[in-house]
Amino acid sequence: MDMKKLSFLITFIVLLHPLCAGGADSTSAPGSSGVEIMESDGMKFLKGAGYIFSAPVRWHGNDWLTFGGAGVGTAAVSGLDIDGRLFMRKHQTAGNNTLATAAEQYGNGFNMIALSAGGYIAGLAFDDRWIRETSFLAGSAILIAGSISTVTKVLVGRARPYTGRGHLSFKPFSLPLVDVASFPSGHTIVAFAFSGVLAERIKNTWASIGLYGLAAACGVSRMYTDEHWVSDVVFGAFISVSVSHSLVRWFESGEDSSSRSGLRIVPGAQTLTLVWTF
């Protein structure tokens, strides 16, 4: 990524900073060096990943209903896959091509990780805890949701629309994941993970509308370019919003998950131990 684009991405998150709810008290704890902060954040990422990946063992009735509803909803939306693709193909124009190319960048994993890293560095450099933590959470949500996306793609093996195989063509465990990596939409997952974190951290209705609008535009662009079906995008959005919201709430509650069942990562002097609590 060139410096001009990186500067723009860093500016994007810095401009959002005044909207945050906790901006008045955003300096880092005194006495903490940059290295110590990064080491602490590295451990928080591992703990957060463990918390998200082990979430199903903590689910209760309503949680399973929500998950089941998402599955049923995705299956229902798949009925729009064919019509959705036809609609996009009928509206192919030079202007729409330009818009789709621009919107797609918001879900580009490299761009958004670079933005998160740039914001994190800016937060460290200017001793702004809100920017650092928000950037950390955005990058974490992208990586965690992205890993879920990759595993799901392998397990499902759904053919992309441009292959012409239809929306019910599946070849699980097929590698490489090129033509059979349709479900879910990775770009949509990245876009909604980033927007979901910022929306949760900023807590401003208009900012949320704008952020989710950008993410939705990215999802539409992936359907427009014939890379994904409608249901790929819908399920990707659900996964990302769930991950980003859960991660932010876990973080803002003081990472208090030690008393709950699930996967925990316990650091030692020179080791990391995985502990599963029932």
Check residue 228 and report its DSSP letter. -
Split at pLDDT 50, 70, 90, the class of 270 is low
Measured distance CA(177)–CA(175) in Å, rounded = 5
Beta bridge partners of 170: 158
Q: What is the dihedral of CA 234, 239, 243, 244, to 10 degrees?
A: -20
Model pLDDT for residues 11-32, shown as the tens digit of each residue: 555 555 555 544 445 555 555 6
User: What local confidence, expressed as pLDDT, does residue 145 receive?
Assistant: 96
Split at pLDDT 50, 70, 90, the class of 5 is very low
User: What local confidence, expressed as pLDDT, does residue 4 receive?
Assistant: 47
The tokens 């650092």 sit on which residue?
132
Over 60: is that where the pLDDT of 9 sits?
A: no
Q: CB-hemisphere CA count at 13 Å for 263?
A: 14
34-277 to CATH, choices 3.30.70, 3.40.50, 3.30.420, 1.20.144: 1.20.144
pTM of the prediction? Answer: 0.83
- Mean pLDDT value across residues 192-201: 96
Kindly give the interhelix angle for 3-16 and 186-202, rounded to the nearest 10 degrees: 40
Domain map (residue ranges) of the chain:
34-277
Which H helix or E strand runs over 267? strand 262-267
User: What local confidence, expressed as pLDDT, does residue 22 receive?
Assistant: 47
**Ramachandran angles phi, psi of 64, nearest 5°:** -70, -35
Over 80: is that where the pLDDT of 8 sits?
A: no
Which residue has better confidence, 220 or 66? 220
- Residues of the chain above pLDDT 70, percent: 80
Model pLDDT for residues 238-267, shown as the tens digit of each residue: 999 999 999 999 999 986 544 444 444 455
